[in-house]
Amino acid sequence: MGLDASVMCTCYQTGKTTPCPYPDDFYIDEDGFPAIRMGEFEATAKSDEFDAWLASCCPHAFMDYATIYIENWNEYRAFVDALGQVGWEHFPTLKAQLPEENHGLTPADRAAKALDELAYFKSQNGISKHFLVNSETNEVVQSTSQQEDGFFNWDGRTGLRLGYDEQGFFIKDAWDLNRELFRAAHVGQKQLASEELDRPDQYEFTDLDTGKQFLSSSPVRVFKRAEFGATQEYPSRMHVEARVVDTDYFATIIDPLIQIFTVAVETGNPVRWS
């Protein structure tokens, strides 16, 4: 689950759509989407007819001029952390307009100012971040944010939450006020395959400095693209490391934000977060 953004086209405003079946009831709802008013006892046929019209009334299906996936919430919040690290005084518009949930609107005039602030962020030299790193390959295993409190995995069956902070990797019990069950600055992971089909594999975590161990049903895993789909890897040795990354590290978030803010400025319509 992540954050999406869209901007409505101007076809209805400029009279370029086919005639709306219910022009007197047409309006833009509080989330910025085309809708029609319906009485309490009106049949759903009215809504169905409107939706069918909306899907093909102009060259932009459902009047969506642009729809863009921004990023998953973990990476998005890490970007918000980076803005704060540079200093929120440089990003007053982004601080006010970037959403915390899957809804909200950013007016076109605010989008113009947001573009200037994104350009300023891109001009910075680097951002300091802590990563969970594969000790054998030096590859980043996980990146998280302050808003996530370091958590990156949660098992709804057992309540175990996996995460890391500046002091190392940890496992906490979400059902017991996040009581810490295991912590290690240098951690080993071993997959213990189950011999029973109806029983999931277990994962043995070891504090490589003390030898303390903890058995978990949730692993630390890395998904990697393959020729057909993706593969999963389970790092056997990990540690937390501070690294300075170039602002291009956040390009997968910055680029779609620039695209959607630019469309908002061009159309004069707000960005809709969803």
Q: Who has greater pLDDT, 270 or 222?
A: 270
Residues 50-76: tens digit of each pLDDT: 999 999 999 999 999 999 999 988 889
List the beta bridge partners of residue 64: 8
Residues 157-182: tens digit of each pLDDT: 899 999 999 999 999 999 999 999 99
Mean pLDDT in residue range 241-249: 93
| Run of H or E residues at 67 | strand 64-72
Residue 183 has pLDDT above 90, yes or no: yes
Q: Is 91 exposed, middle or buried (0-12, 13-18, 19+ CB in 10 A)?
A: buried
Residue 230 has pLDDT above 90, yes or no: no
Mean pLDDT in residue range 148-153: 86
Q: Which residues contact 59 (CB under 8 A, 6 or more apart)?
A: 9, 11
Q: Over pLDDT 70: what percentage of the chain? A: 97
Cβ atoms of 11 and 62 within 8 Å: the answer is no
Cβ atoms of 266 and 80 within 8 Å: the answer is no
Residue 1 has pLDDT above 90, yes or no: no
Q: Who has greater pLDDT, 171 or 227?
A: 171
| Entry pTM | 0.80
* Cα-Cα-Cα-Cα dihedral sign, residues 3, 109, 16, 34: positive
Q: Report the length, in residues, of the chain.
A: 274
Q: State the pLDDT at residue 75.
A: 87
Q: State the pLDDT at residue 40.
A: 67
Q: Over pLDDT 90: what percentage of the chain? A: 77
Residues 9-47: tens digit of each pLDDT: 999 999 999 999 999 999 999 999 999 998 766 667 888
Cβ atoms of 81 and 73 within 8 Å: the answer is no
Q: Which amino acid is at 243?
A: R
Neighbours of 160 (CB within 10 A): 20
Q: State the pLDDT at residue 66.
A: 97
Q: Which amino acid is at 166?
A: E
- C-alpha distances (whole Å) from 189 to each of 93, 127, 219, 237 are 43, 29, 8, 6
Spatial strand order in the sheet of 168-173: 151-154, 160-165, 168-173, 179-184
Mean pLDDT of the chain: 92
Q: State the pLDDT at residue 229.
A: 72
